[in-house]
Structure 1
Amino acid sequence: MTAGPGSSTTSTRAGLLARLPAQRDLLPGLAVVAGATALSFAAAHLLPGLNASTAAVVLGAMLANAGLHGAALRPGTAFAARRLLRIAVVLLGLQLALPQLAALGLSGLAVVVITVAVTFTGTRLIGRWLGVPPARALLVATGFSICGASAVAAMKDVADGDEDDTAVAIALVTLCGSLAIVLLPLLRGPLGLDPAAFGSWVGASVHDVGQTVATASRVPGALTAAVVVKLSRVVLLAPLVAGVALARSRRAAASGTAVAGRRPPLVPLFVVGFLAAIALTSTGWVPAGVLSAAKTVQEVLLVAALVGLGTGIHVAVLRRTGGRALVLGLSSWVLVAGVAYTGVRLLGS
């Protein structure tokens, strides 16, 4: 019996109605995320030393550990932590353009590549030595070597870890990035760095883009170099994720552990979107006003996503982790700062 012309319309309506309860479930959590996001920006405005990203993670963690993150809020905060963060990563690509790499020169590019490679490899080795779970060590290594929470989000699916692994990695990059805002400007004089060199050091060593801007802004004349170096470092996010995914896929195939009929994408779709955004910006066709608006949206979405991620940070989980993850994070922070400083001193920027 052939279905009538109204059957497809009926099924479409049924599908939309089926989705409505799930969408309504998101509203309480997203409302809390929106309020916490506004509070984070307000706090950053009132306290110049405070970064909105840091405030967002702290507010999210406070909700969770105060027992205020109830079941009604979890669908919305999870949506923010996963979907909004992925959109923010894609929009981050619109802040990058391939000519920025050319502006760095070979020496500046070498500093960026060496810093990322040594930090990523060294952090994973230290994690293995400390006995930190491999997925957690991989996420920490990615966050510290590239761009904090955005990098952790990009590597999350490839790492095949759990929510605790992600929460710990986010907590560590937030902690150390916040410490960098305070400590790195104090070290500029003793380390003998002029403003441009200091900016290059900050761009090559501080994790999150917002933390980089906050740190470099404390030294007049350092911000431009810091942003150029930092965004050039972010460009390495996609090849790093793709390289790890390819290596794991080959190991799984060689050991026969791959699941038949289940072939996850080599690179997560939003990382492909990130690369496409870089390519689009590099054409020069996107109006400056659009890029500026996209940058604002990206910053807001990232802070909102960090509120959601912050709700996954539980003091009990950090206690169960013991001091090993904290030692790993601090070691990675010292490693990235030391390698970047050596590179800036030896190779220039």
Structure 2
Amino acid sequence: MLRFDDLQLFVRTAELGNLSAAARHLDISPAVASAGLKRLELQLQVRLFSRSTRSLRLTPEGELFLGHARLALQSLEDGRQQLAGSKVGISGLLQLSAPSDFGRNTLLPWLDEFQQVHPQLQLRLLLGDRVADLFREPVDIALRYGAPEDSSLVALPVAAANRRVLCAAPDYLQRHTAPETIEALAEHNCLLYMLAGRGHDRWSFSDGKREQHISVKGDRVSDDADVVRRWAVSGAGLVYKSWLDVAGDVRAGRLKVLLPEWRGEPAPLNLICAHRAQLSKPVLLLREFVQTRCTELLAHAPWPH
């Protein structure tokens, strides 16, 4: 096992070009420094420096190992700083955009819990299904379903395994026979979500071997995903939504999953920002927090795993 102090001595000696100077910088004796360097060379079974009475220079093997040693020391320092930082609370303003339904009915109580853990943090929450312009609007990060169309944006996965599910309220199912096939959806009132003026009226399913697509229709369309969910809960028709949006309704009995043997289309949830510089400690902590909660919901997802 390579010793941290030996790696530190090697890097400092390479930078200063002098073993005695490196020893003084590290506040150790020249004899201890010489022994440490010999120990490192013995463990690596190579000579790291070519020595003469007046000079000390890296060998080709030493040049090769220097980069690895620097990376190892930097990784250890990063870990130390993260541990030190975890002991200090986070503060400041975090501006977040989220989809209307997921934001109101799933994310909101999670944010309450997150702020209880970090009471010095201020949140500004913008809800809406239109994709926020992260370069122009007062938003640090956004939670969005699907990959961003703009490839210059940074996207970190939060719930990569999430999918859409087909649901209906018990009240609707008392008045209508539950569909037993994908084709039977054409006989039902399907509640449609509209984005950018286009209704999402083509629903896709897979059983692991084949895919089925069906065009559906209904008497209600909205550009607010939360409104569509509320219509479904009231018994107005079938709905095809992200599992993260309806998991709470299914668990409470307000909605029932239909055709669970079919997987709905993927609906991965990502954290999106304009620049990696925006991945601050509050942002990364929030992502980890939301990711954990999403994993708990996905553990009870109805589709075959």
TM-score, normalised via structure 2 length: 0.30
More helix by share: 1
For the pair shown, the structure with the greater C-alpha radius of gyration is 2
TM-score, normalised via structure 1 length: 0.27
More strand by share: 2
